[in-house]
Structure 1
Amino acid sequence: MPPPVLVVFCHLRWSFVYQRPQHLMSRLAGRWRVIFVEEPMRCEGPAHVEVRDIAPHLQVLVPHTPIAVSGFHDDQLAALQTLLEAHFTAAKLHVDVAWLYTPMALPLVNAVRPDAVVYDCMDELSAFKDAPRQLRQRESALLKRAAIVFTGGPSLYEAKRRLHPHVVCLPSAVDAAHFDATRLQAGSPHAAAVDRLQGNLPRPRLGFFGVIDERLDTGLVAAVADAHPEWAIVMAGPVAKIDPATLPRRPNLHWLGMQAYERLPYLLAGWDVALMPFALNESTRFISPTKTLEYMAGGKPVVTSPIADVISLYGDAVEVTDGPQEFVRACERLLTETAAERAERRAAMALSVTRFSWDFAADTVHSLLSQVLRLSRPVAVVGQLAAETRATPLAAAGGQRS
């Protein structure tokens, strides 16, 4: 029997930073036939759908239209509906579940006619820079239609749990083996590429990887670089939604651009401290950074701004600071920690890492989606599970193993 079909509508491209959507969907593929629908790209000719085979049972669809506006914009909807209806009809595919990462794609659900709809609220998109004005209204409609809602962390869980009867907290997790420094291959092409990028930089090295956008406190980054000109500050990631010209420039501040997921463990292995210099604004109020666990899986001490989910999930394993002076002092302490302090910190980090795995998160999702499909009135069982997780959502659905 062929696997059920899971169609994913996502505002992030598959080839962008490798994060929650890629981790979950690559692990569900096989048990499900995953079809990942990206936002449209502009083309000069007739509208069409580009099909990319990523892995067995995992396919990416990229709509191309001559329409100038970006994203799942209202002006794109008619063309996208026509393209998707034609594609799924020609492929003779029955869609079992439509999975939405953005409420803006909700009108396209009708084009694929799924048996059930799922909303994975990994971020509070309405708080991000340049958020569509219709987003809040469309999310309200999605919450009415979804059989189940997943949230990317406890802050979003608290924000959404009163808006829908079946909300499950599914915090972002980690592929610990990928970041384990003992598994790195010294002679690999990734090791060579990273050596070219940072091999000549002095120690200590302090680093960040991730999207560089309005969530990053660039003033804080500059303050750390200015406090210790002898430190090498490595910033790896694509710049999005902000002008690269506004990024601070210092001799000891190195902006490396976007790096492949396969390179990140090699970058991390060459750092002495891992940084999370986030701004405190509406766009970071609900974030649950995946990089926290990735840093810890690589064995690196973490210094962070006071992000709510980081504190509630990993507060005993990271250095939480408030303001540039505290941030710099925390970096100084970690660079001079004793062997005993290092061992204690690593034990706390290892405990956090073992609690949250992408494999377990995907198993949780698969179990819930399978019940949605099996039962004639699926929301009853999903509601029962959600009720059980509501009191202790992290232990039940966040990746913790007993």
Structure 2
Amino acid sequence: MTDALPGSVAHASALSQPARRSLLLCLSHLRWNFVFQRPQHLLTRAARDHDVIFFEEPLFQPGIVPRLDLHRVPEGVTVAVPLLPEGLQGPAIAAAQRSLLDGLLEAEAGREMIAWFYTPMALEFAAHLRPDLTVYDCMDELSAFRGAPPRMLDLERALLGRADLVFTGGRSLYEAKRGRHPRVHCFPSSIDAAHFAAARVTQPDAADQAALPRPRIGFFGVVDERMDLGLVAALAAARPDWTFAMIGPVVKIDPEGLPRLPNIHWLGGKRYAELPHYLAGWDAGFMPFARNESTRFISPTKTPEFLAAGLPVVSTPITDVLRDWGPKEAGGPGLVEIAADPVAFAAALQAVLARPRGPWLKQVDRRLAQLSWDRTWAEMKGLIAARRTVTRLPAREEASAARIA
């Protein structure tokens, strides 16, 4: 928290007021209403036990006075969006964010708080906070993404220096971070299986894909520098008898550069609730990820989501997909096919389209039964509780506990 009330005042306040839930302040580079993914899954569950504030990056508008737009979303999270005047630059942006954050937290002085970071860049305006616990949920190697700020790596070092716990979004990230902090824990992509299993039920087609010929090969997710657009174009050109349905917002790349063949259909972003309805009308999924620095550490959440929907899926050889879902010879369970080039990709898709689903689905469901976002959050919650117990120990007792451990 920011500076707490003096001890006597805080004690009197605690006696006169009912106990409040702890505050979880999430500092995120992603927007709550952008794509429903790891942060939304975890923080929706965190909101059962904490008051969760999701503090987003600023939006800029002409001629306004800096202010916070606060609104509560149906998942029980309060989203805070800094609104800043256009033309603000560098340190002035960070100063305005800090002022708005301090104003938001002013009424929370003395309250237990967890600071939950998704981006090290938030330290530019939040480094002065003194939370009871700091969590760095490293879901991506952001420094490898297009447009990453030059200070990202320096700020990540600072964040690792102050974090009590570090969670990673996959095994590759875990291996990259585990030597940089004493308490790094691997939490790969998980699944709300019941949500996506709705795609296995026969249902009327989504209106904007009802006229698309079959078989349909689908992708859903963010369309950015991580997609191999050349692979998509080559596949579509090689198989004009297949339809490629592409769902997701286009960011950080020029939409004019997307391949525009007659059998590629860019359907735009869809709400999380709509995805099973679209997937129900597909015959297979594909993950045409480029192999570059931005995909080196990714563990795509869509992998188990495709599987829960009952769709066979082919992916480029992304390390975490290979090891967690790919062929048995690569150490995986043999649930996802892997292909590195357009010819192999087309052959793998042809094979999964022709393959009987029953035996494969039984294997899929056995694997997915071991995963859930509820389970992931429960394990994270346990680590947080254990660490809070340690941080509450007086310094001498903590040193003794460390020697015993």
TM-score class, shorter: 0.7 to 0.9
**1:307-346 matched pairs, under 5 angstroms:** 307-315=318-326, 316-337=334-355, 339=356, 342-346=357-361
Q: Deviations over 1:203-246 (max 9, x none)?
A: 10000000000000001111111111111100000000000000
- Kindly provide the amino acid, as one letter, of the partner of residue 46 in structure 1: V
Match in the other structure for 2:11: none
> Do the aligned partners of 2:202 and 2:280 also contact (CA within 8 Å) in 1?
no
In structure 2, how many angstroms separate the alpha carbons of the residues matched to 1:173 and 1:151?
12
Q: What are the ranges of 5 or more consecutive residues in structure 2 without an aligned counterpart?
A: 1-18, 327-333
Tell which deviates more after alignment, 53-62 or 21-30.
53-62
In structure 1, how many angstroms separate the alpha carbons of the residues matched to 2:143 and 2:173?
12
Q: Deviations over 1:348-373 (max 9, x none)?
A: 22233222210101111111122222
Q: Does 1:376 align with 2:386?
A: no
Q: Does 1:86 align with 2:103?
A: yes
- Kindly provide the amino acid, as one letter, of the partner of residue 374 in structure 1: T
Match in the other structure for 2:69: 50
- Kindly provide the amino acid, as one letter, of the partner of residue 62 in structure 1: V
Give the 3 Å change call, closer, same or farther, for CA 95–134 of structure 1 in structure 2. Answer: farther
Match in the other structure for 1:394: none
Q: Displacement, 1:65? A: 1.0
Match in the other structure for 1:393: none
> Do the aligned partners of 1:275 and 1:303 also contact (CA within 8 Å) in 2?
yes
Q: Deviations over 1:63-115 (max 9, x none)?
A: 11115469xx6441111111111121145573511000000002333454311
Tell which deviates more after alignment, 11-20 or 371-380.
371-380
State which of 251, 261, 274 in structure 2 corresponds to 1:240.
251
Q: Displacement, 1:322? A: 1.2
> Do the aligned partners of 2:54 and 2:79 also contact (CA within 8 Å) in 1?
yes
In structure 2, how many angstroms separate the alpha carbons of the residues matched to 1:311 and 1:69?
44
State which of 124, 134, 138 in structure 2 corresponds to 1:117.
134
In structure 2, how many angstroms separate the alpha carbons of the residues matched to 1:163 and 1:94?
30
State which of 267, 274, 285 in structure 2 corresponds to 1:274.
285
> Do the aligned partners of 2:199 and 2:277 also contact (CA within 8 Å) in 1?
no
> Do the aligned partners of 2:224 and 2:252 also contact (CA within 8 Å) in 1?
yes
Q: TM-score w.r.t. structure 1 length? A: 0.88
Using the aligned pairs only, state the percent identity. Answer: 46
Match in the other structure for 2:14: none
> Do the aligned partners of 1:95 and 1:112 also contact (CA within 8 Å) in 2?
no
In structure 1, how many angstroms separate the alpha carbons of the residues matched to 2:234 and 2:272?
28
Match in the other structure for 2:329: none
In structure 1, how many angstroms separate the alpha carbons of the residues matched to 2:278 and 2:129?
41
Q: Displacement, 1:328? A: 0.5
Give the 3 Å change call, closer, same or farther, for CA 80–93 of structure 1 in structure 2. Answer: farther
> Do the aligned partners of 1:177 and 1:183 also contact (CA within 8 Å) in 2?
no
In structure 2, how many angstroms separate the alpha carbons of the residues matched to 1:185 and 1:262?
17
SS for the counterpart of 1:295 is helix
- Kindly provide the amino acid, as one letter, of the partner of residue 123 in structure 1: D
Q: Displacement, 1:288? A: 0.3
- Kindly provide the amino acid, as one letter, of the partner of residue 42 in structure 1: F
In structure 2, how many angstroms separate the alpha carbons of the residues matched to 1:112 and 1:15?
26
SS for the counterpart of 2:274 is helix
> Do the aligned partners of 2:199 and 2:279 also contact (CA within 8 Å) in 1?
no
State which of 317, 326, 348 in structure 1 corresponds to 2:363.
348
Match in the other structure for 1:358: 373
Q: Give the root-mean-square deviation of aligned CA atoms.
A: 2.3
SS for the counterpart of 2:343 is helix
SS for the counterpart of 1:168 is strand
- Kindly provide the amino acid, as one letter, of the partner of residue 215 in structure 1: R
In structure 1, how many angstroms separate the alpha carbons of the residues matched to 2:92 and 2:244?
43
SS for the counterpart of 1:195 is coil
Tell which deviates more after alignment, 345-354 or 254-263.
345-354
Match in the other structure for 2:123: 106
Give the 3 Å change call, closer, same or farther, for CA 50–317 of structure 1 in structure 2. Answer: same
Match in the other structure for 1:62: 81
Q: Deviations over 1:102-155 (max 9, x none)?
A: 000023334543112110100000000000000001001101000010000000
In structure 2, how many angstroms separate the alpha carbons of the residues matched to 1:367 and 1:29?
15
> Do the aligned partners of 2:217 and 2:282 also contact (CA within 8 Å) in 1?
yes
In structure 2, how many angstroms separate the alpha carbons of the residues matched to 1:155 and 1:377?
32
- Kindly provide the amino acid, as one letter, of the partner of residue 380 in structure 2: V
In structure 2, how many angstroms separate the alpha carbons of the residues matched to 1:112 and 1:84?
10
In structure 2, how many angstroms separate the alpha carbons of the residues matched to 1:211 and 1:20?
13
Match in the other structure for 2:234: 223
SS for the counterpart of 2:206 is helix
Tell which deviates more after alignment, 20-29 or 51-60.
51-60
Give the 3 Å change call, closer, same or farther, for CA 196–140 of structure 1 in structure 2. Answer: same
Q: Deviations over 1:270-328 (max 9, x none)?
A: 11110100000000000000000000000100100000001111111000111111101
Give the 3 Å change call, closer, same or farther, for CA 227–185 of structure 1 in structure 2. Answer: closer
In structure 2, how many angstroms separate the alpha carbons of the residues matched to 1:92 and 1:41?
27
> Do the aligned partners of 2:24 and 2:116 also contact (CA within 8 Å) in 1?
yes
Tell which deviates more after alignment, 132-141 or 52-61.
52-61
Give the greater-gyration-radius structure (CA). 2
